[in-house]
Structure 1
């Protein structure tokens, strides 16, 4: 006796669900961005102080990114089995535990415990990264990059405000008796907690679960796959995203230390990181629209051009706070263009049954190379300085550009193809 396929929502209902999902994910990214911005702005300084050696200053960002890498695949597997909602909530919950360990480590002057805390905080970043793919679960080909970019853009508000909460956080931390420079983590706890409640309560029905039902329904009815598998293009998308992330993390992680050496105040450092993070997220919808209109690969190449401009500006203007700030803004813009277009290319180049697994592997790879890059960046900074670090990063960009032909897709799926296309 054959099973009757469960009824699916029609295209209008799926479209409404997609719009609601985007709003929930966008608000979650605002909350996650607040937490991430506060972490990045003081992490390198805390690592240098607790370790007693500036060569270890990159370990804060490195630990966060390595923690992101370690949790990316497990969270993707959890999403594949149970949906995006529990995966996002679990990632943010693990990050809360990490925040507690960081504050404790600074209080007792324990560098290994500090590293473990930052590793666990990386799970929150893994959840933030997974949100952009959640935005694509129910999207169509004509709007996939735009929908993904809207969720990326939503990080802007939280990420820009986050580093500027260091001052108010210090005041609150002083009242609470917290160690110096850890007061901003009060905001991290509040925003991460709110994000967990948001996902558990409002991300219903789960977008990935619904998308999996639609795919299974189409497969059972004999419908053609909307996106045949293109492994070469998927691998190139991973390469482009990982390369841009390695460049961004390496240079960004060393900027607070470089500016502190140059005599910049903590407020100036916070402002510079805020503007950098604004560059990462504020124009992402523009890059999403461009990727939908011009194609994914041209926007990836545009991102590499902007990254080259950022590295040259950083190298030539390393002794100018204004020039370093401009370089950090360009660095964020190049990262944004590459990440939005690359994530869209990865999604479309992966058949439905391989998509979530590859998305997890992508986040693992990009976070791993970012973590390694941050560790090496501290050594490079001590060896040849900030300008030398920027010029060294050009080699990574060159690899992404040379391999660009691999990102070409040989056949474009129909423009209305996507999970929210009703079954025939």
Structure 2
């Protein structure tokens, strides 16, 4: 393959093989002790944007990128990059998937708190299934081609230092014509996830999907979204993605759309209910009646105790998520995207369990973004820690 100018001599090639390591050492309630990775769901996917990868050489990564506040840990054919600032903020990034599994922040009381929710469970073959965290779930389309999306990333550069901020830049390409940068920036009180797309093909490129951030909470019953009053929203089925967490009952009811369904029908184009009991049928009917009807948020202090799956079409650029159970909060902000996806599994689940989270996504689901030939698009999601 002939590389474009984007592929400089500093590119580190990373294996895309999936490990099959046994997960007996995992504790189900301590998902941040990550030791291996496996794709969540096995379903047909669109063509994948990728470049050739070689096995990870952690020793080389340490030598090449030392002095920036980043350390690397080898995990079978994968790798964890840990970003550490002197003020106590840390983030963990898995390669080559680009999944951010941890964001720990210092608190006003002197301790540290994990803001992200990541679940580790055992797969059918005995390997580890990792879900949650912060991930990219975007689909690309162009004239005359099948839909595709990036699933593997190459480490391109690391900048900054442990005193102020650390920036990790990952890259991927599609047929050497569409260049994608996934940039993770850890500052003293902010974790930013950035996607930069350069369209070098002669036709228009369409982008749809979302950033997905699973924010851990004690329980949705103690969690409130502040600042959304007056925002318009549309109820939609939960968005299923490679690393997304959705309760099994939601999937069985058919309220989510897998990527292969999105390719043929478009995001959230329809529901295929598998509910058999009368209770499930009533729930299905209720949700379908709500779908597509635009409503206005009438609460500025919105409690998230009920199941909800919405796309806000006119939300402010930032709003706050408060967890009274953990006495913590996080401010979620965005750039370059107009929509906000919000999913809460509700408070019917066990406290501090796999489903004790709220998923927030800065998105382009209802209105895809179009890039003309030569266009460059930039979208950013910010997670701000106001607890210092």
User: What is the TM-score of this pair, normalised by structure 1?
Assistant: 0.27
Quick check: which one's strand share is greater? 2
User: What is the TM-score of this pair, normalised by structure 2?
Assistant: 0.29
Indicate the structure whose relative CO is greater, using CA pairs within 8 Å and at least 6 residues apart.
1
Quick check: which one's helix share is greater? 1
